Structure 1
Amino acid sequence: MQFTHDSALLAAFPHLAVATLTLDGVTDTADVERTSAPFLERAAERLAERPESELPEIAAWRRAFSQMGLKPTQYRCASEALLRRLRREGEIPAIHPLVDLCNAVSAAYAIPIAVFDLDQVVGDLTVTYAVGTETYRTFGGTTETPEPGEVIFRDDAGNAHARRWTNRQSALSAIRPDTRRVLIVSEALHDTAPADVQALRTELAGALGQYW
């Protein structure tokens, strides 16, 4: 499986920095709380200084969403949604050990992290502009069709594995108890994004290696 970004998208967002990881042998039995806690504490410390909307990582995604014609307060990138929940509720709900750990790292860095079950991806996966014929499966069990020109993660079968770029993933490739192979993608657009996504990748790889 090849993971790429469409050249037209890269031309529109030339400051995009991306880091990826693949992981085999995932299980749902690990207890990641000890490793996740320091990342969540870092996120909380940043939120104590300023709201998530003022963090440079989040501000850059808000500008990108505006550039895509989306209202940033209606459609938020995944890391902003996590930080908003952490600020309001004091915690991020547990979903799956792998997802929980990725969410904690995402909150610490304020950078979106997407995690895809590779066994649900057909062929290659490309971040690109939707044609308008793709299908997206919601977590409510319904099927949607992305708008033409919307940024999606599309596989060779026309499945949209995420809508509105870093806004929302699809239930089709969401991590589940029987997930074994995953692709992890972090993307950032702020000024120090190249260094930050690599630092994120290094820390995340080290954390993942403790369990899988």
Structure 2
Amino acid sequence: MNLTLTVHDDVRLLVPGFTYLAVEARGLVNGPSDTASGALLDDAARRLAERLDGRAPHEDPHMAAWRAAYTAFGAKPSRTRNSAEALARRALADGGLPRVNRLVDAYNAVSVAHLIPVGGEDADHIRGGMSLVRAVGDEPFATAAAGADVVEHPEPGEVVWRDDEGVTCRRWNWRQGTRTRLTDTSVNALFLLESLAPMSRAELEAAGAELAESLEKLSPGARVTVHAPA
């Protein structure tokens, strides 16, 4: 993989059971949501409902573990939910899952079906390597508010993904920045699937394999590789 990924020791000490998979995809063809990507989302919502069987998303053991991780670095998990829990709540609501674009739909579907946080970054906009760190508090985070581009900063001690230019995702996997998000013109991407105990390694790998398969179907000819951390 051309991009290096690092998890800082301070994060591992905070949440020892954390692991991830990286799915690297090159030569993708993105575009507006379509029938194929919408079908992935609809199937994911169905599988989620079967999995939860009437329970709320936060009652799932993996989501409970993420709530504990958020509490450990000072976030309020009922206010700033991890991305998988937030998507699951939308999947179960009347409006259903949002349609964003083909690539985002694909990884959102895997996130919901497996109840695992998944993020996607445009690899051509990542500067240097990617690191999961506890923030100092002065790192720039490019986002949008009220329709305008703004720069925010994480709280000191907050767990964030960052590259050499700044934060790419705040509160671990709560909110992605605008600088590296996947757009309709993205062709090269890095997807991160993040898990905590009690999710097993086999469950994590199954989610990664499903995402790789979806990407290959949506973008025939794309080069998709799944990487496990060393």
- Contact between 1:115 and 1:182, CA under 8 Å: does it hold in 2? yes
Partner of 1:44: 49
Aligned to 2:198: 191
2:85 maps to 1:77: no
What is the distance in 2 between the residues matched to 1:62 and 1:51?
13
1:27 equivalent in structure 2: 29
Give the whole-Å Cα distance in 1 for the aligned partners of 2:99 and 2:13: 37
Question: Shift of residue 10 of structure 1?
Answer: 1.3
Instruction: Note the C-alpha offset of 1:101.
Output: 1.2
SS of match in other structure, 2:70: helix
Residue of structure 1 aligned with 2:208, choices 182, 201, 210: 201
Post-superposition offset of 1:44: 2.2
Q: Aligned partners of 1:172, 1:193: CA distance in 2, in Å? A: 32
Which deviates the most, 41-50 or 142-151? 41-50
Give the SS at the match of 2:21. Answer: strand
- Structure 2 SS opposite 1:200: helix
Would you say 1:180 and 2:179 are equivalent positions? no
Which segments of 5 or more consecutive residues in structure 1 lack a partner in the other structure?
A: none
Counterpart of 2:163 in structure 1 is: 155
Letter in 1 for 2:131: T
Q: Name the counterpart of 1:9.
A: 11
Post-superposition Cα deviations, 1:144-203, rounded to whole Å, max 9, x if no partner, equal 01122111111112x100011011111111111111111000111131332221110111
Is the alpha carbon distance of 1:171 and 1:164 closer, same or farther for their aligned partners in structure 2, counting shifts above 3 Å?
same
SS at match of 2:93: helix
**Structure 1: how far apart are the matches of 2:162 and 2:103?**
23
Within 1, Cα distance between the matches of 2:169 and 2:199? 25
Q: Normalising by structure 1, what TM-score?
A: 0.93
Q: Is 1:99 the counterpart of 2:99 in the alignment?
A: no
Counterpart of 1:67 (choices 38, 50, 72) is 72
User: Is the 2:119–2:193 contact (alpha carbons within 8 Å) kept by the matching residues of 1?
Assistant: yes
- The alignment partner of 2:194 has SS state of strand
Q: Give a deviation string over 1:115-168, Cα, whole Å, max 9, x none.
A: 0011111111101011222100113311101122111111112x1000110111
SS at match of 1:190: coil
Question: What is the aligned residue count?
Answer: 211
Which one-letter code corresponds to 2:198 in the other structure?
D
On the 8 A contact 2:122/2:186 being kept in 1, the answer is: yes
User: How much does 1:90 deviate?
Assistant: 4.8
Give the share of equivalent positions with the same residue, in percent. 33
SS in 2 for 1:139: strand
Counterpart position of 2:225: none
Distance of 1:124 and 1:17 partners within structure 2: 18
Pick from 130, 136, 161 the counterpart of residue 131 of structure 1.
Answer: 136
